[in-house]
């Protein structure tokens, strides 16, 4: 399975600011995914990040709020913009779930608290 790292592991931010979360994979992957997991809840897909093209967002998530970059096949960033307390959550990146490997593997997550 792929080794996935995320930075930062946690952060406490002020309302109205932005935070960029980085996700690094130890192998080249076509698709990377960003999820949000609110306390005690399941995993909600935010968007799919493909290298060389615009990210594909799920219903309820927009690019202005969650811009994503995918500069190469091993790295992606998710920015949470103009944060409010409702954005407090765990954000996870994942890889897999494509034609090469059906299994998704998750990064360790970023625990975000917005005051």
Residue 88 interacts with other proteins (CB under 8 A)?
no
Q: Cα torsion for 14, 108, 36, 61, to the nearest 10°? A: 80
Q: Can you tell me which of 43, 51, 61, 69 binds other proteins, judged by CB under 8 A?
A: 43
Which residues make Cβ contacts (< 8 Å) with residue 52, sequence separation at least 6?
A: 70
Binding other proteins (rule: CB under 8 A), the pick from 53, 60, 85, 102 is 102
Contact footprint for other proteins (CB under 8 A): 1, 31, 33, 41-43, 45, 48, 92, 97-99, 102-109
């Amino acid at each position: 399975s792929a080794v996935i790292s995320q930075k930062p592991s946690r952060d406490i931010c002020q309302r109205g600011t932005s935070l960029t979360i980085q996700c690094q994979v130890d192998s080249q992957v076509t698709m990377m995914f960003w999820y949000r997991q609110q306390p005690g809840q399941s995993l909600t897909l935010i968007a799919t990040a493909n290298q060389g093209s615009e990210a594909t967002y799920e219903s309820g998530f927009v690019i202005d709020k969650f811009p994503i970059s995918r500069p190469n096949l091993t790295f992606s960033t998710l920015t949470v913009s103009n944060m409010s307390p409702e954005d407090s959550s765990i954000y996870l990146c994942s890889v897999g779930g494509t034609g090469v490997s059906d299994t998704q593997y998750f990064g360790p997550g970023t625990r975000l608290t917005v005051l």
